[in-house]
Amino acid sequence: NEGGGARPLWATSTDRTPGGVLLMQGDNHLVMYDIGAGPRWASGTMNSGAMRLDMQSDGNLVLYRADHVPVWATGTMGR
């Protein structure tokens, strides 16, 4: 939020993390890495079967299994 007036509804608390990258790992864990410093945030979905990250039209960011069952979400729907 660089003075634009908008407020984040959810955040990983990794602001000011240089060279950060978000990866969906082979073990179904969505992880934010700080290059050179290791993991900074994780979804906690290891071995959950999560396969797809979907930014829904209602504003909710959701990780789904292949059978369309949600395993993690930001909980920001309708905001």
Q: Is 20 helix (H, G, I), strand (E, B) or coil?
A: strand
- Within a domain: residue 36? yes
- Within a domain: residue 78? no
- Within a domain: residue 33? yes
The number of domains in the chain is: 1
- What CA–CA distance (Å, rounded) separates 7 from 57? 18
The CATH number of residue 66's host domain is 2.90.10.10
Query: What is the per-residue pLDDT across 21-70, written as a single tens digit (0 to 9) for each?
Result: 888 999 999 998 887 778 988 999 999 998 999 999 998 999 999 999 99
Can you give the pLDDT at residue 76?
A: 86
Q: What is the pTM of this model?
A: 0.71
Query: pLDDT grade, residue 10 (50/70/90)?
Result: low
Asked whether the beta carbons of 37 and 52 are under 8 A apart, the reply is no
- Within a domain: residue 50? yes
- Taking alpha carbons only, the member of 4, 6, 47 closest to residue 26 is 47
Can you give the pLDDT at residue 30?
A: 92
- Within a domain: residue 13? no
Find the domain containing 47 and state its range: 20-73
